[in-house]
Amino acid sequence: MTEKWKTRTKLVHQGSRRSQYGEMAEAIFLTQGFAYPDAESAEARFIKTGEDEFIYARYGNPTTRTFEERIAALEGTEDAFATASGMAAVNGALTSMLRAGDHVVSSRALFGSCLYILEEILTRYGVKVTFVDGADLNQWRAAVTPGTKAVFFESMSNPTLELVDIAAVSEIAHAAGALVVVDNVFATPIFSRAVEQGADVVVYSTTKHIDGQGRALGGVICGTTEFIRKTVEPYMKHTGGSMSPFTSWIMLNGMATLDLRCRAMAESALKIARALEGEAKVKKVIYPGLESHPQHALAMAQMGSGGTLVTFEIEGGKEAAFRFQNALEIAKISNNLGDAKSIATHPATTTHQRLPDDQKARLGITPGLIRFSVGLEDAEDLIADLRGGLAAV
């Protein structure tokens, strides 16, 4: 029955469990453990844990299970495992499936912590990693070999909003027998069709749009039942990266409005991108929803939207970017994204500060670059705020 539900219905009802009280809101099962009616039941549960049977919150919890079922239904995967943060999800998805001698191909334009896992952690344990320019299919073709176990990429990169063609890279990966693991944060689960385009495993930091109000860290790994239960779950439950029931409850509440929020933010993002294109002090506007974006056609085919972030370069480098940020009245200077509150980030001095200058240049992280996470405020107010910032430059 629930398979027929459309997105908004799933976001409100999928996976709901009700106790004997029939509570309307999702209950928070704030419990680490579960009492068994007798010793025989305890023994039986440790041999085989059935549906809606739980042992310990690190292994699973009713509130967390509700969240996992809801996000899996939304993403179109058989199952999901909720994690303590987005990074626990990225690490869990990769580390649980890889062993010494395996080969991974990854796009180069990655969130700093993702880069750390691929460059520092995996290689420490004998996994070979090859980095490619994610938008260049020829580099993927050259790097993926029959020994490649997985490919990893952010479907839309941070902060320069460059897309990786999920369908094309999946075809290359699958021909070599490699699993496709996508960090899909910037695409959001609302605009994602990653699984139908070929992704095998989809990872989210739920800290971003899924919570959507900047309250809690969380993450999730979506995939087949086989991958989630046989590969991910044993790794996660024994290494301690599971989502807390309280966080799961926060995420469930975020999900009820996820579709409405992402669509409203993307609508405002397009208006903002268009307005910025006409501004004299703005050198360049990067927004996949604009016809001027080099991958506009791919963005429309892959996501049907330009997403909820707009990146732009201000004339005058770091000094101009700082003046702009300091003059904002509505948008906050911070580094989260997907929040109800608009956020202006200066990647060169914050999120990407640690990268050497040549790598910043290679990734297009220039001193005048601003990443703007569009919130739920009125679009006209935001445009006026951005204009106020530019006037101070």
Ligand X SMILES: *Cc1c(COP(=O)(O)O)cnc(C)c1O
- Can you give the binding site for ligand X, defined by CB under 6 A? 85-87, 90, 111, 113-114, 154, 158, 183, 185, 205, 207-208, 217, 219
Tell me the C-alpha distance between 78 and 114, whole Å.
Answer: 25
| 85 vs 325 by CB, closer to ligand X | 85
| 183 vs 259 by CB, closer to ligand X | 183
| 26 vs 154 by CB, closer to ligand X | 154
Tell me the C-alpha distance between 328 and 307, whole Å.
Answer: 22
Provide the minimum distance between the beta carbon of 184 and ligand X in the complex, in angstroms, as a whole number.
8
Provide the minimum distance between the beta carbon of 385 and ligand X in the complex, in angstroms, as a whole number.
23
Residue 78 token pair: 């058989």
| 84 vs 132 by CB, closer to ligand X | 84
| 209 vs 281 by CB, closer to ligand X | 209
Provide the minimum distance between the beta carbon of 344 and ligand X in the complex, in angstroms, as a whole number.
16
| 84 vs 390 by CB, closer to ligand X | 84
Provide the minimum distance between the beta carbon of 205 and ligand X in the complex, in angstroms, as a whole number.
3
| 27 vs 115 by CB, closer to ligand X | 115
Q: Following CA atoms 393, 311, 347, 206 in sequence, which dihedral angle do they give, to the nearest 10 degrees?
A: 140
Provide the minimum distance between the beta carbon of 233 and ligand X in the complex, in angstroms, as a whole number.
19
| 182 vs 276 by CB, closer to ligand X | 182
What's the chain's Rg over C-alpha atoms? Answer: 21
| 111 vs 227 by CB, closer to ligand X | 111
Provide the minimum distance between the beta carbon of 106 and ligand X in the complex, in angstroms, as a whole number.
13
Is the Cβ–Cβ distance between 121 and 94 less than 8 Å? no
Provide the minimum distance between the beta carbon of 36 and ligand X in the complex, in angstroms, as a whole number.
34
Residue of minimal CB distance from ligand X?
86
Provide the minimum distance between the beta carbon of 258 and ligand X in the complex, in angstroms, as a whole number.
16
Provide the minimum distance between the beta carbon of 275 and ligand X in the complex, in angstroms, as a whole number.
25
